[in-house]
Structure 1
Amino acid sequence: MKKTLGILIAISIIVGGALWAKGYYNNRYVASETYYTQVPTDEVNKDSWLVDDQGKKQVKGKMYKLVGYDKEGNKRDFSFAKQGTAKDYYAPGAYIKISASKTISLGETTINKEDVPAKALEKIEKEGTRK
């Protein structure tokens, strides 16, 4: 009886852990949402460095902190980096489509203004994208 109970508890722990891990993975790494934003038109592109939590230089690049809107106009804050030099950064005024999980940005792509859903474009033009 004790052996069976121990086996059931062990199986429950393993199954529970697997379900938790799957949920964590899906929430963090599976794209489930799309947002749209615009790089502010007054943004200045000059060579800069990405830094770690202690302020130490890591690689050349630029950190973007922008507000994105989904196709319904719902707002969400985003932070993402673009590695390289000034010529590699997003152009001022560029529209960006963000593929996101529930917790992080998974990838960004420049798009044409015409490809931004109407409600998102309305919010971008009315409320802006600065965080």
Structure 2
Amino acid sequence: MKKKSIWILPLVVVFAAGAFWTKGYYNDRYVVSDYYYTQIPEDEMNEDSWLLDSDGAKQVKGKEYELVAYNAQGEEREVYFAKTGSAEDYYAPGTYIQVSTSKTLVAGVAVVNEEDVPPAALEQIDTLGTRIQ
């Protein structure tokens, strides 16, 4: 009977460690931790294009955006997101975008009005722009 109980404690410890790691991974990757704001550059061209996979093969019609965004404190972060569809579906130049982010990913994208952008983020957008340098 004692031999069986020796294995229970290590199994519980391994299970608990795995659960702790999984929760941390999930939270870092999928739970929104901050909101960043960006603006589609005024000189952005909206022409039909394709989204490509990692091998460069065409997948679906769409456009990738690689921009600089700012949170409510004016802190900068590069964000990457895509919009599927054709040119008329892409974000219009000058559109303000709220980007929901986890620690590692963009979790969502929404169009917002200029007055919904926090003042510090709006100031950074106006001063520094949103194109990645």
Q: TM-score range by the shorter chain?
A: over 0.9
- CA offsets 1:53-86 (integer angstroms, 9 cap, x no match): 1100000000000111000000011111111111
Task: Determine the C-alpha separation between the residues in 1 that align with 2:45 and 2:127.
Answer: 22
Is 2:37 the partner of 1:42?
no
1:48 aligned partner, one-letter code: S
Instruction: Report the CA distance between 1:114 and its aligned residue.
Output: 1.1
What is the alpha-carbon distance in structure 2 between the residues aligned to residue 80 and residue 96 of structure 1? Answer: 11
Q: Secondary structure at the match of 2:99?
A: strand
Identity of aligned residues (%): 55
Paired position in structure 1 for 2:86: 85
1:75 aligns with 2:76: yes
AA at the equivalent of 2:91? Y
1:11-50 matched pairs, under 5 angstroms? 11-50=12-51
What is the one-letter code of the residue matched to 1:119?
Answer: A
Tell me how far 1:3 sits from its aligned partner. 3.3
The corresponding residue for 2:122 is 121
Inter-partner Cα distance in structure 1 for 2:87 and 2:10: 57
Tell me the secondary structure at the aligned position of residue 79 of structure 1. strand
Matches within 5 A, 1:47-58: 47-58=48-59
**Runs of 5+ in structure 2 lacking a partner?**
none
Q: Distance in 1 between matches of 2:72 and 2:3?
A: 56
**Partner SS for 1:9:** helix
**Matched residue, 1:103:** 104
CA distance in structure 2 between the partners assigned to 1:101 and 1:5 by the alignment = 40
The TM-score normalised by the length of structure 1 is 0.96
Which structure 1 residue ranges, 4+ long, deviate > 2 Å from structure 2?
A: 1-5
Note the aligned Cα RMSD (angstroms).
1.0
Q: What is the aligned partner in structure 2 of residue 59 from structure 1?
A: 60
Aligned length: 131
Separation in structure 1 between the aligned mates of residue 56 and residue 124 of structure 2, nearest angstrom: 34
Secondary structure of the equivalent of 1:59?
strand
- Give the TM-score normalised by structure 2: 0.95
In the alignment, residue 95 of structure 1 is paired with which amino acid? Y
